[in-house]
Amino acid sequence: MKYKSLLFDWSGTLVDDLPPTLHATNEVLVSYGVPAMNQEEFRSRFRLPYPEFYDEVLPGVPIQDLEGIFRTSFKQSPVRVSVLPHAREMLAWCRENEVRCFILSSMDVGLFTAQAHDFELHHHFEAIYAGVIDKRHRIGDILLEHGLEPAKTAFVGDMVHDIETAHHGGVDSIAVATGYDPVARLSGIGPSHLFDHLGHFREWLEQSVCSS
């Protein structure tokens, strides 16, 4: 088995929440007199840790003042969050093959908890770390806390910050092109592997099992 444990990002990796995130972000911007962004502009400018993004687009506005508007607008978005194709199959495969799964996400804890239970995905994860502003600061502690072997662990995500987090933790970085960062940006930072979606990642893992 190539990996014994996988840390998953949530947004853009297991679920598609880009439309409601864009809607909520634009509600925040407009409330402070800043023009709304289209999806292309948002994807080109948005980054994690997200306070850095808001420091750029709304300089001087405390992040605490924005979060309430964001959460309310996210819930009111006309486009709802959905589970990405291949996500359920990926998690089921991990369970069948005894791959330990964890969540490491910047997603607001309340929003994450509601989504994970609504989609009935929470039971797939041994532990959940949501609301983590800078994932680089937590990955090392998570590895130690759960006795995860870095050489047998990977972090799966859709953003440059996820790849940087994997590098910081000394684990493989698995980038998927289903979320926020464009492929060119992902490939430019050198992930261990880059896949179009989780289905291709699962197929690659299946091949590694067969060849071992």
pLDDT tens per residue across span 9-64: 999 999 999 999 999 999 999 999 999 999 999 999 999 999 999 999 999 999 99
**pLDDT at position 163 over 70:** yes
The first and second tokens of residue 112, run together, are 């994450």
Instruction: Return the SS3 of 123.
Output: helix
DSSP 98: T
Instruction: Return the SS3 of 9.
Output: coil
What are the angstrom distances between the C-alpha of 17 and each of 5, 11, 81, 110, 172? 25, 6, 5, 15, 25
Alpha-helix runs per DSSP H in 123-191? 139-145, 160-169, 183-188
Entry pTM = 0.95
Closest CA to 56 of 70, 45, 71: 45
pLDDT tens per residue across span 101-127: 999 999 999 999 999 999 999 999 999
